[in-house]
Chain A
Amino acid sequence: MSNVSSTVSIAFADSATMLRRRLRHMLRYPTLILTAAGVPVAILLLFVYVLGGALGDGVGTAGGMSYVDYVVPGVVLMTVATAAQGTAISVSIDMTEGIVARFRTMAIARVSVLTGHVLGSLIQTMLSIAAVVGVALLVGFRPTAALGEWLGAIGVLAMIVLALTWLSVALAMVAKSVATASNMLTPLMILPMTGSGFVPTDSMPTGLRWFAEYQPFTPFIETLRGLLMGTPMGDGLILTVGWCAAIGLGGYLWAKRLYNREPTR
Protein backbone atom coordinates (compact mmCIF):
# COMPACT_ATOMS: atom_id res chain seq x y z
CA MET A 1 0.00 0.00 0.00
CA SER A 2 2.66 2.49 1.03
CA ASN A 3 4.62 1.22 -1.93
CA VAL A 4 1.78 2.14 -4.27
CA SER A 5 1.33 5.57 -2.73
CA SER A 6 5.05 6.33 -2.94
CA THR A 7 5.04 5.23 -6.60
CA VAL A 8 2.14 7.60 -7.22
CA SER A 9 3.80 10.49 -5.40
CA ILE A 10 7.01 9.91 -7.35
CA ALA A 11 5.02 9.94 -10.58
CA PHE A 12 3.46 13.27 -9.55
CA ALA A 13 6.75 14.82 -8.48
CA ASP A 14 8.54 13.73 -11.67
CA SER A 15 5.68 14.88 -13.90
CA ALA A 16 5.71 18.24 -12.11
CA THR A 17 9.48 18.51 -12.70
CA MET A 18 9.00 17.68 -16.38
CA LEU A 19 6.16 20.22 -16.59
CA ARG A 20 8.46 22.90 -15.14
CA ARG A 21 11.04 21.96 -17.77
CA ARG A 22 8.48 22.35 -20.53
CA LEU A 23 7.21 25.68 -19.16
CA ARG A 24 10.82 26.92 -19.04
CA HIS A 25 11.17 26.10 -22.73
CA MET A 26 7.96 28.03 -23.35
CA LEU A 27 9.07 31.09 -21.38
CA ARG A 28 12.39 31.06 -23.17
CA TYR A 29 10.67 30.99 -26.55
CA PRO A 30 7.33 32.79 -26.01
CA THR A 31 6.90 33.17 -29.76
CA LEU A 32 5.66 29.55 -29.77
CA ILE A 33 2.37 30.70 -28.22
CA LEU A 34 1.99 33.51 -30.73
CA THR A 35 2.82 31.21 -33.65
CA ALA A 36 0.15 28.75 -32.56
CA ALA A 37 -2.34 31.60 -32.39
CA GLY A 38 -1.16 33.32 -35.58
CA VAL A 39 -2.64 30.97 -38.19
CA PRO A 40 -6.11 30.78 -36.55
CA VAL A 41 -6.19 34.57 -36.13
CA ALA A 42 -5.36 35.02 -39.82
CA ILE A 43 -8.12 32.56 -40.73
CA LEU A 44 -10.55 34.33 -38.41
CA LEU A 45 -9.87 37.65 -40.08
CA LEU A 46 -10.07 36.06 -43.52
CA PHE A 47 -13.44 34.50 -42.80
CA VAL A 48 -14.91 37.52 -41.03
CA TYR A 49 -13.76 40.26 -43.39
CA VAL A 50 -13.22 38.58 -46.75
CA LEU A 51 -15.58 35.62 -46.92
CA GLY A 52 -17.91 36.45 -44.06
CA GLY A 53 -20.16 38.80 -46.06
CA ALA A 54 -21.13 36.13 -48.57
CA LEU A 55 -21.04 33.16 -46.16
CA GLY A 56 -22.94 35.07 -43.48
CA ASP A 57 -25.99 35.37 -45.72
CA GLY A 58 -26.19 31.61 -46.04
CA VAL A 59 -25.45 30.86 -42.41
CA GLY A 60 -27.24 33.77 -40.78
CA THR A 61 -30.67 32.27 -41.33
CA ALA A 62 -29.99 30.13 -38.24
CA GLY A 63 -31.46 32.53 -35.71
CA GLY A 64 -30.08 35.80 -37.00
CA MET A 65 -26.58 35.07 -35.65
CA SER A 66 -23.76 37.19 -37.06
CA TYR A 67 -21.13 35.25 -39.01
CA VAL A 68 -18.31 36.10 -36.60
CA ASP A 69 -20.33 34.55 -33.77
CA TYR A 70 -20.92 31.48 -35.91
CA VAL A 71 -17.28 30.99 -36.93
CA VAL A 72 -15.40 31.56 -33.64
CA PRO A 73 -15.92 28.03 -32.21
CA GLY A 74 -14.47 26.56 -35.42
CA VAL A 75 -11.50 28.93 -35.29
CA VAL A 76 -10.92 28.06 -31.63
CA LEU A 77 -10.76 24.38 -32.52
CA MET A 78 -8.42 25.19 -35.34
CA THR A 79 -6.19 26.77 -32.69
CA VAL A 80 -6.30 23.45 -30.82
CA ALA A 81 -5.21 21.67 -33.99
CA THR A 82 -2.38 24.15 -34.68
CA ALA A 83 -1.15 23.83 -31.11
CA ALA A 84 -1.27 20.02 -31.37
CA GLN A 85 1.11 20.34 -34.30
CA GLY A 86 3.40 22.42 -32.10
CA THR A 87 3.28 19.71 -29.45
CA ALA A 88 4.18 17.04 -31.97
CA ILE A 89 7.15 19.10 -33.10
CA SER A 90 8.51 19.67 -29.60
CA VAL A 91 8.02 16.02 -28.59
CA SER A 92 9.75 14.93 -31.76
CA ILE A 93 12.69 17.27 -31.15
CA ASP A 94 12.97 15.86 -27.63
CA MET A 95 12.94 12.26 -28.84
CA THR A 96 15.73 12.89 -31.32
CA GLU A 97 17.95 14.52 -28.65
CA GLY A 98 20.11 12.62 -26.19
CA ILE A 99 18.27 13.96 -23.15
CA VAL A 100 15.48 11.38 -23.46
CA ALA A 101 18.06 8.56 -23.47
CA ARG A 102 19.31 10.03 -20.22
CA PHE A 103 15.80 10.06 -18.73
CA ARG A 104 15.37 6.41 -19.72
CA THR A 105 18.45 5.41 -17.73
CA MET A 106 17.25 7.23 -14.60
CA ALA A 107 15.11 5.83 -11.80
CA ILE A 108 12.20 8.17 -12.49
CA ALA A 109 8.53 7.65 -13.31
CA ARG A 110 8.68 6.30 -16.83
CA VAL A 111 6.18 8.42 -18.76
CA SER A 112 6.73 11.61 -16.76
CA VAL A 113 8.52 13.14 -19.76
CA LEU A 114 5.39 12.70 -21.83
CA THR A 115 3.06 13.84 -19.04
CA GLY A 116 5.17 16.98 -18.69
CA HIS A 117 4.81 17.64 -22.41
CA VAL A 118 1.06 17.08 -22.34
CA LEU A 119 0.41 19.34 -19.33
CA GLY A 120 2.72 22.01 -20.73
CA SER A 121 0.93 21.86 -24.07
CA LEU A 122 -2.42 22.11 -22.31
CA ILE A 123 -1.34 25.37 -20.67
CA GLN A 124 0.22 26.68 -23.85
CA THR A 125 -2.85 25.83 -25.95
CA MET A 126 -5.25 27.45 -23.49
CA LEU A 127 -3.14 30.62 -23.65
CA SER A 128 -3.20 30.54 -27.45
CA ILE A 129 -6.99 30.09 -27.36
CA ALA A 130 -7.29 33.06 -25.01
CA ALA A 131 -5.29 35.15 -27.49
CA VAL A 132 -7.54 34.06 -30.39
CA VAL A 133 -10.73 34.76 -28.42
CA GLY A 134 -9.30 38.16 -27.49
CA VAL A 135 -8.87 39.04 -31.17
CA ALA A 136 -12.35 37.65 -31.89
CA LEU A 137 -13.86 39.97 -29.28
CA LEU A 138 -12.10 42.89 -30.93
CA VAL A 139 -13.60 42.09 -34.34
CA GLY A 140 -17.13 41.84 -33.02
CA PHE A 141 -17.56 38.40 -31.41
CA ARG A 142 -20.41 38.78 -28.92
CA PRO A 143 -21.00 35.54 -26.99
CA THR A 144 -24.20 35.21 -24.97
CA ALA A 145 -22.54 32.92 -22.38
CA ALA A 146 -22.82 33.69 -18.67
CA LEU A 147 -20.08 32.69 -16.19
CA GLY A 148 -21.35 29.09 -15.90
CA GLU A 149 -21.28 28.61 -19.68
CA TRP A 150 -17.82 30.14 -19.92
CA LEU A 151 -16.50 27.73 -17.31
CA GLY A 152 -18.24 24.90 -19.13
CA ALA A 153 -16.62 25.99 -22.41
CA ILE A 154 -13.19 26.15 -20.78
CA GLY A 155 -13.72 22.68 -19.30
CA VAL A 156 -14.83 21.20 -22.62
CA LEU A 157 -11.88 22.81 -24.40
CA ALA A 158 -9.42 21.50 -21.80
CA MET A 159 -10.84 18.02 -22.29
CA ILE A 160 -10.52 18.25 -26.08
CA VAL A 161 -6.99 19.68 -25.85
CA LEU A 162 -5.90 16.94 -23.46
CA ALA A 163 -7.25 14.20 -25.73
CA LEU A 164 -5.75 15.62 -28.93
CA THR A 165 -2.43 16.33 -27.20
CA TRP A 166 -2.00 12.70 -26.14
CA LEU A 167 -2.79 11.69 -29.71
CA SER A 168 -0.23 14.12 -31.11
CA VAL A 169 2.41 12.88 -28.63
CA ALA A 170 1.86 9.33 -29.89
CA LEU A 171 1.98 10.43 -33.53
CA ALA A 172 5.16 12.39 -32.86
CA MET A 173 6.80 9.21 -31.55
CA VAL A 174 5.70 7.15 -34.55
CA ALA A 175 7.33 9.71 -36.84
CA LYS A 176 11.03 9.18 -37.44
CA SER A 177 11.81 12.85 -37.98
CA VAL A 178 10.62 16.27 -36.86
CA ALA A 179 9.33 17.09 -40.35
CA THR A 180 7.23 13.91 -40.53
CA ALA A 181 5.86 14.57 -37.04
CA SER A 182 4.73 17.99 -38.16
CA ASN A 183 3.13 16.68 -41.35
CA MET A 184 1.26 13.91 -39.56
CA LEU A 185 -0.75 16.49 -37.65
CA THR A 186 -1.75 18.53 -40.71
CA PRO A 187 -5.01 16.59 -41.33
CA LEU A 188 -6.14 17.76 -37.90
CA MET A 189 -6.15 21.33 -39.23
CA ILE A 190 -8.58 20.39 -41.99
CA LEU A 191 -11.12 18.72 -39.70
CA PRO A 192 -12.71 21.92 -38.29
CA MET A 193 -13.26 23.05 -41.91
CA THR A 194 -14.90 19.79 -42.94
CA GLY A 195 -17.19 19.89 -39.94
CA SER A 196 -19.69 22.50 -38.89
CA GLY A 197 -17.00 25.06 -38.12
CA PHE A 198 -17.39 27.43 -41.03
CA VAL A 199 -20.65 26.44 -42.76
CA PRO A 200 -23.56 24.25 -41.58
CA THR A 201 -23.11 20.62 -42.58
CA ASP A 202 -26.50 20.46 -44.37
CA SER A 203 -25.11 22.78 -47.03
CA MET A 204 -22.50 20.14 -48.03
CA PRO A 205 -22.78 17.42 -50.72
CA THR A 206 -24.04 14.06 -49.40
CA GLY A 207 -20.74 12.18 -48.97
CA LEU A 208 -18.97 15.03 -47.27
CA ARG A 209 -22.03 15.79 -45.16
CA TRP A 210 -22.07 12.22 -43.89
CA PHE A 211 -18.37 12.55 -42.94
CA ALA A 212 -18.91 16.00 -41.42
CA GLU A 213 -21.75 14.80 -39.23
CA TYR A 214 -19.89 11.83 -37.83
CA GLN A 215 -16.39 13.24 -37.37
CA PRO A 216 -15.46 14.35 -33.84
CA PHE A 217 -14.92 18.03 -34.58
CA THR A 218 -18.61 18.56 -35.37
CA PRO A 219 -19.84 17.68 -31.86
CA PHE A 220 -16.85 19.59 -30.44
CA ILE A 221 -17.91 22.69 -32.38
CA GLU A 222 -21.63 22.25 -31.69
CA THR A 223 -20.99 21.91 -27.95
CA LEU A 224 -18.73 24.93 -27.86
CA ARG A 225 -21.16 26.99 -29.96
CA GLY A 226 -24.02 25.89 -27.69
CA LEU A 227 -22.15 26.99 -24.60
CA LEU A 228 -20.95 30.30 -26.03
CA MET A 229 -23.89 31.30 -28.21
CA GLY A 230 -26.81 29.41 -26.66
CA THR A 231 -27.55 27.40 -29.83
CA PRO A 232 -29.01 23.88 -29.39
CA MET A 233 -26.28 21.33 -28.61
CA GLY A 234 -28.28 18.17 -29.23
CA ASP A 235 -26.21 15.17 -28.14
CA GLY A 236 -23.01 17.17 -28.79
CA LEU A 237 -21.79 17.08 -25.20
CA ILE A 238 -22.17 13.33 -24.78
CA LEU A 239 -20.48 12.71 -28.12
CA THR A 240 -17.68 15.12 -27.17
CA VAL A 241 -17.05 13.35 -23.87
CA GLY A 242 -17.10 9.99 -25.65
CA TRP A 243 -14.74 11.07 -28.43
CA CYS A 244 -12.35 12.72 -25.96
CA ALA A 245 -12.27 9.66 -23.73
CA ALA A 246 -11.57 7.40 -26.71
CA ILE A 247 -8.97 9.65 -28.36
CA GLY A 248 -7.31 10.61 -25.07
CA LEU A 249 -7.09 7.10 -23.64
CA GLY A 250 -6.07 5.62 -26.97
CA GLY A 251 -3.42 8.30 -27.46
CA TYR A 252 -2.12 7.87 -23.91
CA LEU A 253 -1.80 4.09 -24.12
CA TRP A 254 -0.26 4.26 -27.58
CA ALA A 255 2.24 6.93 -26.56
CA LYS A 256 3.17 4.99 -23.43
CA ARG A 257 3.74 1.82 -25.40
CA LEU A 258 5.89 3.62 -27.96
CA TYR A 259 7.96 5.24 -25.22
CA ASN A 260 8.58 1.95 -23.43
CA ARG A 261 9.48 0.25 -26.67
CA GLU A 262 13.15 -0.42 -27.15
CA PRO A 263 14.83 2.36 -29.09
CA THR A 264 15.92 1.01 -32.47
CA ARG A 265 18.71 2.54 -34.40
Chain B
Amino acid sequence: MTTHLHSPAVAATAVHKSYGDHVVLDGVDLDVPSGTVFALLGPNGAGKTTMVQLLSTLIRADSGQMRICGHDVDREPDAVRAAIGVTGQFAAVDGFLTGEENLMLMADLNRLPRRERWRCAVDLLERFELTDAAGMPAVTYSGGMRRRLDLAMTLVGKPRVVFLDEPTTGLDPRSRRTMWDVIRRLVTDEGVTMFLTTQYLEEADRLADRVAVLHRGRLVAEGPPEELKRQVGDGHVTLRFADPDEYDAAARILDVISRDESALTLKVPGRGDVGSLRRLLDRLDHAALTVDELRIHTPDLDDVFFVLTGDPTARQEPIR
Protein backbone atom coordinates (compact mmCIF):
# COMPACT_ATOMS: atom_id res chain seq x y z
CA MET B 1 0.00 0.00 0.00
CA THR B 2 2.51 2.54 1.19
CA THR B 3 4.90 1.99 -1.70
CA HIS B 4 2.33 3.18 -4.18
CA LEU B 5 0.64 5.75 -2.03
CA HIS B 6 1.46 8.52 -4.43
CA SER B 7 1.01 6.69 -7.70
CA PRO B 8 -2.42 7.11 -9.23
CA ALA B 9 -4.76 4.09 -9.10
CA VAL B 10 -5.12 4.13 -12.87
CA ALA B 11 -2.80 5.90 -15.28
CA ALA B 12 -2.84 5.59 -19.04
CA THR B 13 -0.79 7.43 -21.63
CA ALA B 14 -1.39 7.57 -25.38
CA VAL B 15 -3.28 4.28 -25.57
CA HIS B 16 -4.05 3.06 -29.08
CA LYS B 17 -6.06 0.00 -30.05
CA SER B 18 -7.37 -1.04 -33.45
CA TYR B 19 -9.13 -4.10 -34.77
CA GLY B 20 -7.98 -4.30 -38.38
CA ASP B 21 -8.82 -0.98 -40.00
CA HIS B 22 -11.21 -0.03 -37.25
CA VAL B 23 -9.55 2.33 -34.78
CA VAL B 24 -11.22 1.84 -31.41
CA LEU B 25 -8.97 3.93 -29.17
CA ASP B 26 -6.92 6.70 -30.69
CA GLY B 27 -4.52 8.05 -28.07
CA VAL B 28 -6.31 8.03 -24.73
CA ASP B 29 -4.73 9.54 -21.60
CA LEU B 30 -6.24 8.88 -18.18
CA ASP B 31 -5.31 9.63 -14.61
CA VAL B 32 -7.48 8.39 -11.75
CA PRO B 33 -6.32 9.25 -8.19
CA SER B 34 -6.64 6.59 -5.49
CA GLY B 35 -9.92 6.45 -3.63
CA THR B 36 -11.94 8.35 -6.19
CA VAL B 37 -14.73 7.40 -8.57
CA PHE B 38 -14.05 7.92 -12.23
CA ALA B 39 -16.69 7.59 -14.93
CA LEU B 40 -15.96 7.03 -18.59
CA LEU B 41 -18.99 8.30 -20.43
CA GLY B 42 -19.82 7.45 -24.01
CA PRO B 43 -22.37 5.88 -26.34
CA ASN B 44 -22.31 2.26 -27.54
CA GLY B 45 -19.26 1.61 -29.65
CA ALA B 46 -17.25 4.55 -28.29
CA GLY B 47 -14.54 2.22 -26.98
CA LYS B 48 -15.45 2.15 -23.27
CA THR B 49 -15.46 -1.62 -22.94
CA THR B 50 -12.21 -1.87 -24.91
CA MET B 51 -10.60 0.56 -22.45
CA VAL B 52 -11.72 -1.63 -19.52
CA GLN B 53 -10.50 -4.78 -21.28
CA LEU B 54 -7.10 -3.17 -21.84
CA LEU B 55 -6.73 -1.95 -18.25
CA SER B 56 -7.88 -5.29 -16.83
CA THR B 57 -5.29 -7.30 -18.86
CA LEU B 58 -7.92 -9.02 -21.01
CA ILE B 59 -6.47 -7.62 -24.24
CA ARG B 60 -3.26 -5.82 -25.20
CA ALA B 61 -2.87 -2.30 -26.51
CA ASP B 62 -1.18 -1.62 -29.86
CA SER B 63 0.81 1.15 -28.21
CA GLY B 64 0.80 3.35 -25.14
CA GLN B 65 1.45 2.81 -21.47
CA MET B 66 -0.94 1.75 -18.70
CA ARG B 67 -0.32 1.39 -14.98
CA ILE B 68 -2.58 0.18 -12.20
CA CYS B 69 -1.41 1.05 -8.67
CA GLY B 70 2.06 1.53 -10.10
CA HIS B 71 2.18 -1.83 -11.92
CA ASP B 72 2.68 -1.91 -15.66
CA VAL B 73 -0.28 -3.67 -17.28
CA ASP B 74 1.86 -5.15 -20.04
CA ARG B 75 4.84 -6.34 -18.03
CA GLU B 76 3.31 -7.24 -14.66
CA PRO B 77 -0.16 -8.53 -15.54
CA ASP B 78 -0.35 -10.78 -12.47
CA ALA B 79 0.42 -7.89 -10.08
CA VAL B 80 -2.29 -5.90 -11.85
CA ARG B 81 -4.77 -8.80 -11.65
CA ALA B 82 -4.10 -9.09 -7.92
CA ALA B 83 -4.97 -5.41 -7.46
CA ILE B 84 -8.15 -5.23 -9.54
CA GLY B 85 -11.66 -6.56 -9.67
CA VAL B 86 -13.77 -6.48 -12.81
CA THR B 87 -17.53 -6.54 -13.15
CA GLY B 88 -18.43 -6.65 -16.80
CA GLN B 89 -21.43 -5.66 -18.78
CA PHE B 90 -22.62 -9.27 -18.91
CA ALA B 91 -22.81 -10.80 -15.47
CA ALA B 92 -19.78 -13.04 -14.96
CA VAL B 93 -21.35 -15.54 -12.61
CA ASP B 94 -21.47 -19.32 -12.84
CA GLY B 95 -25.13 -19.99 -13.54
CA PHE B 96 -24.94 -23.65 -12.50
CA LEU B 97 -23.67 -22.76 -9.03
CA THR B 98 -25.69 -21.16 -6.25
CA GLY B 99 -24.96 -17.61 -5.11
CA GLU B 100 -23.13 -18.93 -2.10
CA GLU B 101 -21.10 -21.41 -4.15
CA ASN B 102 -20.12 -18.64 -6.55
CA LEU B 103 -18.75 -16.60 -3.66
CA MET B 104 -16.98 -19.61 -2.16
CA LEU B 105 -15.40 -20.25 -5.56
CA MET B 106 -14.00 -16.72 -5.52
CA ALA B 107 -12.83 -17.13 -1.91
CA ASP B 108 -10.95 -20.30 -2.91
CA LEU B 109 -9.41 -18.70 -6.00
CA ASN B 110 -8.34 -15.65 -4.01
CA ARG B 111 -6.81 -18.04 -1.49
CA LEU B 112 -8.36 -16.33 1.53
CA PRO B 113 -7.34 -17.91 4.85
CA ARG B 114 -9.53 -21.01 5.17
CA ARG B 115 -11.43 -19.87 8.24
CA GLU B 116 -12.39 -16.57 6.57
CA ARG B 117 -13.85 -18.01 3.38
CA TRP B 118 -17.25 -18.91 4.73
CA ARG B 119 -17.49 -15.71 6.78
CA CYS B 120 -16.67 -13.63 3.73
CA ALA B 121 -19.34 -15.32 1.61
CA VAL B 122 -22.01 -14.90 4.29
CA ASP B 123 -21.10 -11.23 4.81
CA LEU B 124 -21.27 -10.41 1.13
CA LEU B 125 -24.59 -12.22 0.68
CA GLU B 126 -25.95 -10.14 3.52
CA ARG B 127 -24.56 -6.86 2.22
CA PHE B 128 -25.90 -7.41 -1.28
CA GLU B 129 -29.31 -8.57 -0.08
CA LEU B 130 -28.85 -12.06 -1.50
CA THR B 131 -29.12 -14.08 1.72
CA ASP B 132 -32.57 -15.42 0.83
CA ALA B 133 -31.42 -16.55 -2.60
CA ALA B 134 -28.03 -17.87 -1.40
CA GLY B 135 -28.96 -21.52 -2.01
CA MET B 136 -30.50 -21.04 -5.45
CA PRO B 137 -28.58 -21.57 -8.71
CA ALA B 138 -27.62 -18.21 -10.21
CA VAL B 139 -29.52 -18.99 -13.45
CA THR B 140 -32.73 -18.44 -11.51
CA TYR B 141 -31.70 -14.91 -10.43
CA SER B 142 -33.21 -11.74 -11.87
CA GLY B 143 -30.98 -9.32 -13.81
CA GLY B 144 -30.50 -7.07 -10.80
CA MET B 145 -29.63 -9.99 -8.52
CA ARG B 146 -27.09 -11.32 -11.00
CA ARG B 147 -25.39 -7.92 -11.18
CA ARG B 148 -25.26 -7.71 -7.40
CA LEU B 149 -23.83 -11.23 -7.14
CA ASP B 150 -21.34 -10.33 -9.85
CA LEU B 151 -20.14 -7.28 -7.92
CA ALA B 152 -20.06 -9.24 -4.65
CA MET B 153 -17.82 -11.83 -6.37
CA THR B 154 -15.53 -9.05 -7.55
CA LEU B 155 -15.13 -7.80 -3.97
CA VAL B 156 -14.10 -11.16 -2.48
CA GLY B 157 -10.49 -10.51 -3.48
CA LYS B 158 -10.49 -7.10 -1.74
CA PRO B 159 -9.47 -5.26 -4.91
CA ARG B 160 -7.96 -1.78 -4.66
CA VAL B 161 -9.35 -0.80 -8.05
CA VAL B 162 -12.78 -1.95 -9.22
CA PHE B 163 -13.79 -1.74 -12.87
CA LEU B 164 -17.52 -1.55 -13.46
CA ASP B 165 -18.39 -1.84 -17.12
CA GLU B 166 -21.89 -0.41 -17.55
CA PRO B 167 -23.07 -1.67 -14.18
CA THR B 168 -26.72 -0.74 -14.67
CA THR B 169 -27.29 -1.17 -18.40
CA GLY B 170 -30.45 -3.19 -18.93
CA LEU B 171 -31.60 -2.92 -15.31
CA ASP B 172 -35.01 -1.60 -14.30
CA PRO B 173 -35.04 1.76 -12.43
CA ARG B 174 -35.40 0.17 -9.01
CA SER B 175 -32.50 -2.26 -9.48
CA ARG B 176 -30.47 0.63 -10.85
CA ARG B 177 -31.00 2.66 -7.71
CA THR B 178 -30.07 -0.33 -5.53
CA MET B 179 -26.89 -0.74 -7.55
CA TRP B 180 -26.05 2.97 -7.13
CA ASP B 181 -26.47 2.68 -3.36
CA VAL B 182 -24.20 -0.35 -3.27
CA ILE B 183 -21.51 1.41 -5.32
CA ARG B 184 -21.63 4.59 -3.27
CA ARG B 185 -21.37 2.66 0.01
CA LEU B 186 -18.36 0.78 -1.33
CA VAL B 187 -16.49 3.97 -1.99
CA THR B 188 -17.28 5.59 1.36
CA ASP B 189 -16.82 2.41 3.45
CA GLU B 190 -13.84 0.76 1.79
CA GLY B 191 -12.00 3.55 0.02
CA VAL B 192 -11.64 1.56 -3.19
CA THR B 193 -11.02 3.30 -6.47
CA MET B 194 -13.87 2.89 -8.92
CA PHE B 195 -13.51 3.02 -12.67
CA LEU B 196 -16.95 2.85 -14.20
CA THR B 197 -18.21 3.16 -17.73
CA THR B 198 -21.69 4.32 -18.51
CA GLN B 199 -23.86 5.79 -21.21
CA TYR B 200 -26.05 7.60 -18.70
CA LEU B 201 -25.16 11.15 -17.80
CA GLU B 202 -27.29 10.83 -14.68
CA GLU B 203 -25.29 7.80 -13.50
CA ALA B 204 -21.97 9.55 -13.98
CA ASP B 205 -23.36 12.60 -12.18
CA ARG B 206 -24.64 10.56 -9.22
CA LEU B 207 -21.53 8.45 -8.69
CA ALA B 208 -18.40 10.02 -10.10
CA ASP B 209 -15.87 12.54 -8.80
CA ARG B 210 -14.56 12.99 -12.30
CA VAL B 211 -16.05 12.24 -15.69
CA ALA B 212 -14.31 11.78 -19.02
CA VAL B 213 -16.23 11.71 -22.25
CA LEU B 214 -15.12 9.24 -24.90
CA HIS B 215 -16.04 9.99 -28.47
CA ARG B 216 -14.77 7.97 -31.42
CA GLY B 217 -11.77 6.67 -29.51
CA ARG B 218 -10.70 10.03 -28.09
CA LEU B 219 -11.44 11.87 -24.87
CA VAL B 220 -13.32 15.06 -25.71
CA ALA B 221 -13.82 16.34 -22.17
CA GLU B 222 -12.65 15.61 -18.66
CA GLY B 223 -13.59 17.14 -15.34
CA PRO B 224 -15.99 17.09 -12.40
CA PRO B 225 -19.59 16.27 -13.38
CA GLU B 226 -20.80 19.75 -12.36
CA GLU B 227 -18.46 21.28 -14.91
CA LEU B 228 -19.77 18.99 -17.60
CA LYS B 229 -23.36 19.70 -16.70
CA ARG B 230 -22.70 23.43 -16.73
CA GLN B 231 -21.30 23.11 -20.24
CA VAL B 232 -24.18 20.97 -21.40
CA GLY B 233 -26.85 23.29 -20.14
CA ASP B 234 -30.28 22.29 -19.17
CA GLY B 235 -31.60 19.80 -21.61
CA HIS B 236 -33.52 19.63 -24.81
CA VAL B 237 -36.93 19.68 -26.37
CA THR B 238 -38.32 16.96 -28.61
CA LEU B 239 -40.66 17.99 -31.41
CA ARG B 240 -42.82 15.52 -33.27
CA PHE B 241 -44.35 16.33 -36.63
CA ALA B 242 -47.25 14.72 -38.41
CA ASP B 243 -46.09 15.67 -41.89
CA PRO B 244 -42.72 14.55 -43.36
CA ASP B 245 -42.37 17.77 -45.41
CA GLU B 246 -42.91 19.94 -42.36
CA TYR B 247 -40.44 17.73 -40.48
CA ASP B 248 -37.82 18.38 -43.18
CA ALA B 249 -38.55 22.09 -43.23
CA ALA B 250 -38.22 22.34 -39.46
CA ALA B 251 -34.94 20.38 -39.54
CA ARG B 252 -33.58 23.03 -41.93
CA ILE B 253 -34.47 26.09 -39.85
CA LEU B 254 -33.65 24.79 -36.34
CA ASP B 255 -30.41 23.84 -34.49
CA VAL B 256 -30.94 20.11 -34.37
CA ILE B 257 -29.17 17.85 -31.84
CA SER B 258 -30.47 14.64 -33.36
CA ARG B 259 -33.29 13.46 -35.56
CA ASP B 260 -35.36 10.37 -35.94
CA GLU B 261 -36.63 10.01 -39.49
CA SER B 262 -39.02 7.15 -38.82
CA ALA B 263 -40.72 8.82 -35.85
CA LEU B 264 -40.55 12.29 -37.46
CA THR B 265 -39.02 13.72 -34.30
CA LEU B 266 -36.32 16.37 -33.84
CA LYS B 267 -34.30 17.11 -30.72
CA VAL B 268 -33.40 20.76 -30.25
CA PRO B 269 -31.47 22.37 -27.39
CA GLY B 270 -33.50 24.28 -24.85
CA ARG B 271 -34.12 24.61 -21.17
CA GLY B 272 -37.84 24.31 -21.40
CA ASP B 273 -38.55 27.69 -19.78
CA VAL B 274 -41.45 29.74 -21.03
CA GLY B 275 -39.30 32.34 -22.80
CA SER B 276 -37.21 29.94 -24.83
CA LEU B 277 -40.22 27.75 -25.61
CA ARG B 278 -42.15 30.77 -26.87
CA ARG B 279 -39.24 31.77 -29.11
CA LEU B 280 -39.04 28.21 -30.46
CA LEU B 281 -42.76 28.06 -31.18
CA ASP B 282 -42.74 31.52 -32.72
CA ARG B 283 -40.08 30.41 -35.12
CA LEU B 284 -42.13 27.38 -36.15
CA ASP B 285 -45.27 29.48 -36.45
CA HIS B 286 -43.45 31.93 -38.61
CA ALA B 287 -42.53 29.15 -40.99
CA ALA B 288 -46.12 27.87 -40.79
CA LEU B 289 -45.06 24.53 -39.39
CA THR B 290 -47.33 22.55 -37.08
CA VAL B 291 -45.89 20.60 -34.19
CA ASP B 292 -47.83 17.47 -33.33
CA GLU B 293 -46.25 16.93 -29.93
CA LEU B 294 -43.68 18.68 -27.77
CA ARG B 295 -41.71 17.22 -24.85
CA ILE B 296 -39.17 18.76 -22.49
CA HIS B 297 -36.22 16.63 -21.34
CA THR B 298 -33.46 16.86 -18.75
CA PRO B 299 -29.95 16.61 -20.25
CA ASP B 300 -28.74 13.26 -21.55
CA LEU B 301 -25.79 11.93 -23.48
CA ASP B 302 -27.06 13.38 -26.75
CA ASP B 303 -26.87 16.86 -25.28
CA VAL B 304 -23.34 16.23 -24.04
CA PHE B 305 -22.17 15.23 -27.47
CA PHE B 306 -23.95 18.03 -29.18
CA VAL B 307 -22.29 20.55 -26.92
CA LEU B 308 -18.83 18.97 -26.89
CA THR B 309 -18.49 17.92 -30.48
CA GLY B 310 -21.22 19.78 -32.31
CA ASP B 311 -21.85 16.39 -33.83
CA PRO B 312 -25.51 15.49 -33.98
CA THR B 313 -24.84 11.93 -35.13
CA ALA B 314 -22.58 10.99 -32.23
CA ARG B 315 -24.88 8.19 -31.28
CA GLN B 316 -24.58 5.59 -33.96
CA GLU B 317 -26.67 2.92 -32.32
CA PRO B 318 -29.91 3.38 -30.45
CA ILE B 319 -29.70 2.99 -26.70
CA ARG B 320 -31.91 0.43 -25.07
Contacts and interface: CB of A to CB of B under 8 A. Distances in A.
Given A24-B101, A105-B86, A106-B81, A98 B58 contact: no
Given A105-B56, A105-B57, A108-B109, 12 more contacts: A10-B111, A24-B96, A29-B96, A97-B95, A101-B88, A102-B86, A105-B81, A105-B85, A106-B81, A106-B110, A107-B81, A262-B60
Contacts of A99: 92-94
Please classify how large the interface on chain B is, using the bins under 10, 10 to 19, 20 to 34, 35 or more: 20 to 34
Interface string A176-211: 000000000000000000000000000000000000
Interface residues of A, number: 24
Interface of B: 19, 56-60, 78-79, 81-82, 84-86, 88, 90-97, 101, 105, 108-111, 137, 150, 153-154, 157
A17 B108 contact: yes
Contact of B105 (A17, A97, A264): A17
Contacts of B88: 98, 101-102
A263 B154 CA distance: 20
Given A102-B153, A105-B81, A107-B78, A21 B94 contact: yes
A13 B92 CA distance: 22
A256 B235 CA distance: 52
A89 to B, nearest CB: 13
A263 B109 contact: no
A105 B60 contact: no
A244 to B, nearest CB: 30
A25 interface: yes
Contacts, number: 65
Interface in A96-120: 97-99, 101-108
Contacts of A14: 109
A99 B105 CA distance: 11
Contacts of A13: 108, 111
A188 B165 CA distance: 41
Interface string A73-115: 0000000000000000000000001110111111110000000
A28 B137 contact: yes
Contacts of B101: 24
Most chain A Cβ neighbours within 10 Å, of B82, B85, B109, B137: B109
Contact of B90 (A24, A98, A104): A98
Contacts of A104: 57-58
Nearest to B52: A105
Given A13-B111, A17-B105, A108-B109, A101 B58 contact: yes
A234 to B, nearest CB: 44
B70 to A, nearest CB: 16
Interface string A236-265: 000000000000000000000000001110
Interface string A7-29: 00010011001001100110011
The 3 A-B residue pairs with the shortest CB-CB distance, nearest first, are A98-B92, A102-B92, A107-B81
B60 A17 contact: no
A14 B81 CA distance: 15
B91 A98 contact: yes
B90 A262 contact: no
Nearest to A98: B92
B92 A101 contact: yes
Contacts of A262: 58-60
B81 A263 contact: no
Nearest to B110: A106
